[in-house]
Amino acid sequence: MDLFSREAESVDVGQRLKHLREERQISMRELARRSGLSANALSMIERGLTSPSVSTLTKLAAALQVPITAFFRPESSKENVVFRKASERTRIPFLRGLIEGLGGEFFSGRVEAFLLTLENGGSSGPSGMLHAGSEIVYCLRGVLEYEVENKRYILEPGDSLIFSAYMNHRWRNAGKTVVNAIIVISCFNENESPVEYHLATLLQNTEEDKGDGHEVEDANIPEEV
For residue 201, which of 168, 175, 174 has the smallest C-alpha distance?
168
Level-2 CATH architecture, domain 11-71: Orthogonal Bundle (1.10)
Under 8 Å between Cβ of 129 and 201: yes
**Which pLDDT value is given to residue 205?**
57
Q: What is the DSSP letter of 107?
A: B
167-183 pLDDT, tens per residue? 999 999 999 999 999 99
127-158 pLDDT, tens per residue? 788 877 899 999 999 999 999 999 999 999 99
> Mean pLDDT for the chain?
79
Rounded CA-CA distance 145/152 in Å is 7
**What is the mean pLDDT of the segment spanning 28-55?**
88
**Which pLDDT value is given to residue 215?**
40
Q: Does domain 86-210 have CATH number 3.30.470.30?
A: no
Domains of the chain, residue spans: 11-71, 86-210
User: How crowded is residue 189: how many other Cβ atoms within 10 Å of its Cβ?
Assistant: 10
Can you tell me whether residue 133 is helix, strand or coil?
Answer: coil
